[in-house]
Structure 1
Amino acid sequence: MSSEPQAKRTKMSVLDQLKQYSTVVADTGDFKAMKAYKPTDATTNPSLILSAAGMEQYQHLLDKAIKFGTESGGSIEEQLSETLDMLSVLFGCEILKIIPGRVSVEVDARLSFDKEASMSKAIKLINMFAEHGIKKERILIKLASTWEGIQAAKELEKKHGIHCNLTLLFSIYQAIACAEAKVTLISPFVGRILDWHIEHTKKTFEPKEDPGVISVTRIYNYYKKFGYKTQVMGASFRNTGEITELAGCDLLTISPKLLQELADSEDTLKKALDINSAAESDMEKITLNEAQFRWHLNEDQMATDKISEGIRKFAADTRKLESLIKGMLAKK
């Protein structure tokens, strides 16, 4: 936070102004950062948990998860799976002690193309949270926005009352499929879209022309124009300009570094996204079946590249976490 005493500040910080327009979510597994920036919700993923697991202050959670895994019995692989699930749950429980809202907990990215396995893992995690006294209303199950992930979320929402956060979302067609499936929340990735366009065009983009900002704005306007209940949470930001251009989006998940920059600024923030403006947009409604979804995604090179890359990276970090835990299990 800013070192300037709060009492001497004459203006609201950009972060405080932003909280008037959008629900702010902490994109971190660091409890200290959550306490500092006071977000409503928090989100985790394998990369964030891997980073936190290497910090001494979280060692007790790792030890507790490993104890649970070893006591569950079975093969080393089965113990490893139980340990990983418990680690996600323990991190989630600690986060929920800090924030007033919900925590997003990710299903293993390696299940991204397996609807039934994704559902089974989600139900298992919810049951584990329940054993720790956490109601399912405070959990968002994160699934990749593949066709299988979206269909898993559809059934989890409708049949089990389990709320889902569809992540690794780069395309309006992914967003439409999620809305039609009546999922609770989507996380379109702003910064990763920008990364792709910079790499392929060698251009720089001002926030208003940022392809990621334009994509999320389009999704937000589509949802509001056609009355979808699914909420939009902009994610994966590279700079504060992307964030301020999306002020008014339902939720925004922001890293500690960018939260700090927003907290230190006293610029005036204007609301950028608005339900009334969305209603006046000239967008037409689109319907999708599985074949149409896959075709449109295939036609979008950026979205195809980034969802594949995102799944691979999350899977790689999960394997790194497994390797760390496997070494500790072998010593037990």
Structure 2
Amino acid sequence: MSSHSPDKRRRMTSTLDQLRKYTVVVADTGDFNEIDQYKPKDATTNPSLILAAAKMPAYQHLLDKAVEYARSEGGTEEEQVANAMDKLFVSFGVEILKKVPGRVSTEVDARLSFDKDGMLAKARKFIALYEAEGIGKDRVLIKLSSTWEGIQAGKELEEKGIHCNMTLLFSFAQAVACAEANVTLVSPFIGRICDWYKMKTDRKSSEPQEDQGVLCVTKIYNYYKKFDYKTVVMGASFRNIGQALALAGCDLFTIPPSILAQLRDDQSVVERMLSVEKAKASDLEKIHLDEKDFRREHNDCPMAVEKLSDGIRKFAADAIKLENLIKEKMLSKKNGQ
């Protein structure tokens, strides 16, 4: 039984509310009901989240809308499936933007991760679809894989006023290249970094100050602030509330509903751990990475190489599952079901 009475609990400030004093909290979900529940400023999506939401009965109308759009556009089955996918991603984004005051992140297909021109074309398509719905590009972040090609695509898009969220970021080399490309935001994957070190090394500690994901994000944040880069850091892929507490003060967090619920129900005292003042006092040195330096530095981090490849494969696999879901819906529509 809890030692706090319901009345006392209501008077206490939740860990989530305390965190919000230092860090912008973003919801990592495609489920609008969860967004309603936690009232985040922004929201992020990815193929895995959209796939999960698209299977829910509550969102079948968005799948229907995407298929109808694709049929109206015409073309081969492959072209129609691609158009339906694009429309579905944007439709979820449009609905999410009715729930949040800020921005939504919409992810470019991971299968384009090594195709700069393909990523540029897909990003422009997303923006055009959003604009057709009356949504300006200032409310959208295009999510791109943090490959060299993805980072260069982000650089070109930013120069055209299209803002980017660089995802699947695991190495310091990726973070440096993103900052030099002047992208809006990076999303280092704290939990996946921590998972790798626990599985592959003898670093089994669960203490936040020894968590490799926490240490990685702290270094990136300090580097950006020390050298006045405009790129901001959004911690992603949280496994527990301890990681969030250890990074209080980071620019943004994108947090899954399960962790948001824990933060809401917890009353731990939150202290600011990251700050510009601490960053300026760090002993980090500024570096520059051209393509060959980037590839060498990134390759020197086995964790980052493995997790980037694994992340691309998993997002690509879920994109294929989503395509199959769309094909089934298209077939049922064709048969008049």
1:254 and 2:255 matched: yes
Q: Which position in structure 2 is the counterpart of 1:57?
A: 58
User: What per-residue deviation string (whole Å, max 9, x for no partner) do you get for residues 84-129 of structure 1?
Assistant: 0000010000000000000000000000001111001101110110
Q: Which amino acid aligns with 2:265?
A: D
SS of the residue aligned with 1:12?
coil
User: What per-residue deviation string (whole Å, max 9, x for no partner) do you get for residues 27-62 of structure 1?
Assistant: 111101111101000000000000000100001101
Give 1:242 deviation, angstroms.
0.5
SS of the residue aligned with 2:21?
helix
SS of the residue aligned with 2:200?
helix
User: What per-residue deviation string (whole Å, max 9, x for no partner) do you get for residues 214-241 of structure 1?
Assistant: 0000000000000001000000011110
Give 1:6 deviation, angstroms.
7.9
**Normalising to structure 2: TM-score of the pair?**
0.96
Q: What does 1:85-164 correspond to in 2, within 5 Å?
A: 85-158=86-159, 160-164=160-164
Q: Which position in structure 1 is the counterpart of 2:180?
A: 180
User: What per-residue deviation string (whole Å, max 9, x for no partner) do you get for residues 171-206 of structure 1?
Assistant: 111000000000000000000001100111252331
Aligned CA-pair RMSD:
1.1
Q: Distance in 1 between matches of 2:10 and 2:119?
A: 48
Q: Which amino acid aligns with 2:26?
A: V
Q: Which position in structure 2 is the counterpart of 1:315?
A: 316
Q: Distance in 1 between matches of 2:156 and 2:329?
A: 37
Q: Distance in 1 between matches of 2:229 and 2:70?
A: 41
Q: Distance in 2 between matches of 1:201 and 1:232?
A: 27
Q: Distance in 2 between matches of 1:161 and 1:7?
A: 48
Q: Which position in structure 1 is the counterpart of 2:199?
A: 199
1:267 and 2:272 matched: no
SS of the residue aligned with 1:20?
coil
Q: Which position in structure 2 is the counterpart of 1:278?
A: 279
User: What per-residue deviation string (whole Å, max 9, x for no partner) do you get for residues 122-163 of structure 1?
Assistant: 0111011000000000000000000000000000001x2000
Q: Which position in structure 1 is the counterpart of 2:71?
A: 70
Q: Distance in 1 between matches of 2:311 and 2:196?
A: 12
Question: Against the structure 1 CA distance between its residues 249 and 42, is the aligned structure 2 distance closer, same or farther, given a 3 Å change threshold?
Answer: same
Q: Distance in 2 between matches of 1:246 and 1:34?
A: 23
Q: Distance in 2 between matches of 1:107 and 1:267?
A: 37
User: What per-residue deviation string (whole Å, max 9, x for no partner) do you get for residues 254-273 of structure 1?
Assistant: 01010000000112110110
SS of the residue aligned with 2:26?
strand
Q: Which position in structure 2 is the counterpart of 1:296?
A: 297
Higher mean alpha-carbon deviation, 94-103 vs 7-16, is at 7-16
User: What per-residue deviation string (whole Å, max 9, x for no partner) do you get for residues 251-299 of structure 1?
Assistant: 0000101000000011211011011000000110011000000011111
Q: Distance in 2 between matches of 1:44 and 1:173?
A: 25
Q: Which position in structure 2 is the counterpart of 1:233?
A: 234
Q: Which position in structure 2 is the counterpart of 1:169?
A: 169
Give 1:72 deviation, angstroms.
1.1
Q: Distance in 2 between matches of 1:45 and 1:5?
A: 37
Q: Distance in 2 between matches of 1:198 and 1:161?
A: 40
Q: Which runs of 4+ in 1 moved over 3 A?
A: 4-8
Q: Distance in 1 between matches of 2:33 and 2:75?
A: 36
SS of the residue aligned with 1:318?
helix
Q: Which position in structure 1 is the counterpart of 2:11?
A: 10
Q: Distance in 1 between matches of 2:70 and 2:187?
A: 31
Q: Which amino acid aligns with 1:106?
A: E
Q: Distance in 1 between matches of 2:153 and 2:10?
A: 48
SS of the residue aligned with 1:168?
strand
Q: Which amino acid aligns with 2:89?
A: S
User: What per-residue deviation string (whole Å, max 9, x for no partner) do you get for residues 56-90 of structure 1?
Assistant: 00011011111111111111100000000000010
SS of the residue aligned with 2:105?
strand
Give 1:5 deviation, angstroms.
6.5
**Normalising to structure 1: TM-score of the pair?**
0.97
Question: Against the structure 1 CA distance between its residues 8 and 199, is the aligned structure 2 distance closer, same or farther, given a 3 Å change threshold?
Answer: closer
Q: Which position in structure 2 is the counterpart of 1:327?
A: 328
Q: Distance in 1 between matches of 2:190 and 2:283?
A: 23
Q: Distance in 1 between matches of 2:37 and 2:329?
A: 32
Q: Which runs of 5+ in 2 are unaligned?
A: none
